[in-house]
Amino acid sequence: MRRLIIIGAGGHGKVVADIAMRVGYRDVAFLDDAEGLAECAGLPVVGRASDWGSFPDADFFVAIGDARARERIQRGLGGRAVTLVHPAASVSRRVEVGRGSVVMAGAIVNSDVRIGEGAIVNTGATVDHDCRIGRFAHVSVGSHVAGAVTVGDGTWLGVGSVVSNNVSICGGCMVGAGAVVIGDIKEPGTYVGVPARLLR
Ligand SMILES: CC(C)(COP(=O)(O)OP(=O)(O)OC[C@H]1O[C@@H](n2cnc3c(N)ncnc32)[C@H](O)[C@@H]1OP(=O)(O)O)[C@@H](O)C(=O)NCCC(=O)NCCS
């Protein structure tokens, strides 16, 4: 198997590294802009994010939480980002997972879901049937998305949040930890509480 270079040597990156090794990558290293950072989770940091061109034979994964930065860097890679699905995730045979996305341990993704590129379905999250998860969206740890939900590009569902069935959330939203979304969200912004309301 090829070398995998993970861009972003933070907490998210080290979880991604574990997944990569579980799916067979043996040679895993990081790129990160932090000064003097030599290793992450026992794996070497071999340069800065902009050094990716020095590794012509490697696969890449962008492990940066910020959706805009993730998108900018993944675009720069020109189609070289790989998709990672933890072997302990349950993903229906009728799911499409976009390039550069990750589905983490314990996540469940049910039938007829489409996940865009650069998205994160984090540890223990569930995405039920017929959902559309946008490009560079993030379904955080333990978040539950019921059936036929649309999550727009770059929208971040916070840890433990819940989205009721048939709801549509536009792009550019932050749904706070523990929030419960029971109706469509049409305006980008930060939404918190039960039921979720725009934070002014
Ligand atoms: C929603 C969130 C982004 C808001 O952060 P923020 O803009 O820095 O907001 P603040 O912490 O200044 O809080 C502003 C107000 O919203 C309230 N608030 C913040 N987050 C809230 C939440 N999740 N649920 C309910 N109320 C919340 C605060 O209590 C505060 O209320 P007050 O003005 O009455 O005191 C953040 O609190 C959050 O929930 N982040 C989720 C992180 C996460 O899920 N990480 C996942 C990693 S996998």
Say if 92 falls within a structural domain.
yes
Spatial CA neighbour of 18 closest among 91, 84, 74: 84
pLDDT tens string 8-20: 999 999 999 999 9
Spatial CA neighbour of 88 closest among 23, 30, 1, 35: 23
CA of 153 to the centre of ligand 1 (A): 21
158 lines ligand 1 (CB under 6 A): yes
180 lines ligand 1 (CB under 6 A): no
CATH number of the domain encompassing residue 26: 3.40.50.20
Query: pLDDT at residue 73 above 80?
Result: yes
Which residue's CA lies nearest to atom 2 of ligand 1?
176
Which residue's CA lies nearest to atom 18 of ligand 1?
192
Average pLDDT over residues 34-45: 97
Domain residues for 27?
A: 4-76
CA of 192 to the centre of ligand 1 (A): 7
What pLDDT is stored for residue 1 in this prediction? 75
Of the residues 12, 86, 129, 138, only one is catalytic, namely 129
Q: Is 129 a catalytic residue?
A: yes
Percent of the chain with pLDDT over 90: 98
Q: Kindly state whether residues 165 and 93 are assigned to the same domain.
A: yes
Q: Kindly state whether residues 146 and 111 are assigned to the same domain.
A: yes
Say if 197 falls within a structural domain.
no
State how many domains the chain has: 2
Give the end of a domain, one of 76, 102, 128.
76
In the predicted model, what is the mean pLDDT of the chain?
A: 97
Q: Kindly state whether residues 105 and 172 are assigned to the same domain.
A: yes
The pLDDT confidence band at residue 7, using thresholds 50, 70 and 90, is very high
3-class DSSP state of 48: coil
140 CA closest ligand 1 atom index: 48
Spatial CA neighbour of 43 closest among 10, 68, 71: 10
Q: Kindly state whether residues 70 and 109 are assigned to the same domain.
A: no
Q: Kindly state whether residues 177 and 102 are assigned to the same domain.
A: yes
12 CA closest ligand 1 atom index: 48
Q: Kindly state whether residues 152 and 129 are assigned to the same domain.
A: yes
Q: Kindly state whether residues 53 and 110 are assigned to the same domain.
A: no
Q: Kindly state whether residues 67 and 96 are assigned to the same domain.
A: no
Q: Kindly state whether residues 56 and 105 are assigned to the same domain.
A: no
pLDDT tens string 126-179: 999 999 999 999 999 999 999 999 999 999 999 999 999 999 999 999 999 999
CA of 161 to the centre of ligand 1 (A): 12
Q: Kindly state whether residues 132 and 98 are assigned to the same domain.
A: yes
pLDDT tens string 89-129: 999 999 999 999 999 999 999 999 999 999 999 999 999 99
Q: Kindly state whether residues 116 and 156 are assigned to the same domain.
A: yes
Q: Kindly state whether residues 22 and 49 are assigned to the same domain.
A: yes
Distances (CA, A) of 91 to 8, 17, 145, 169, 186: 26, 20, 14, 22, 29
